[in-house]
Amino acid sequence: MDERFLVALPRAAYTVPVLRSFLGSTLQIHGVCPECRRDILVAASEACANVVDHGDPAPNYQVSVRIERSFCTLRITHTGRHFTPAAVPSRPTADAESGRGIFLMHSLMDEVAFDVEPDGRTTVLLAKRLCLLPAAELRLAAATAGG
């Protein structure tokens, strides 16, 4: 299994559930277990919602997805407002009005990284080790064995 796709979306709120639905269906088709799917979808939704809410003046953003045998990697990129990851508290306080999304991403994913380039391009990297349903594991084993 090696699935890759790149989608460019307008920076609008309706695109978050659209991406979530498409990504969720793709993960399900590949036999990713429900808990793992949920974690990836919540983290991806938070990253995309952050672009929609804080990505001015970028008119759009891109989501790159790679689903491999045991890993899913997403890159969410925009050219909006400059972002300083260190300025976001690692753990939001109970009364904080923002900052929960990045905390959730770190809590749900195996790897979260931010690449902020001098030209203003910001990329959020999300990576998760995949847990497959038993039937998907059997299909992968058969494909790997050539059968």
Model pTM score: 0.88
User: How does pLDDT run across 120-138, given as a tens digit for each residue?
Assistant: 899 999 999 999 988 777 6
Half-sphere exposure of 55 (CA within 13 A, CB side): 25
The CA distance from 20 to 17, in Å, is: 5
Tell me how crowded residue 36 is: count the other CB atoms within 10 A of its CB: 18
Domain extent at residue 114: 3-144
- CA–CA dist 49, 54 (Å, integer): 8
CATH number, domain containing residue 122: 3.30.565.10
Residue 139, pLDDT above cutoff 70: yes
pLDDT in tens, 20-73: 999 999 999 999 999 999 999 999 999 999 999 988 899 999 999 999 988 999
Instruction: Please check whether residue 142 is in contact with residue 126, taking contact to mean a CB–CB distance below 8 angstroms.
Output: no
Q: How many domains does the chain have?
A: 1
Residue 83 phi, psi (nearest 5): -120, 135
> For residue range 70-111, what is the model confidence (pLDDT) as tens digits?
899 999 999 988 777 777 766 776 676 676 889 999 999 999
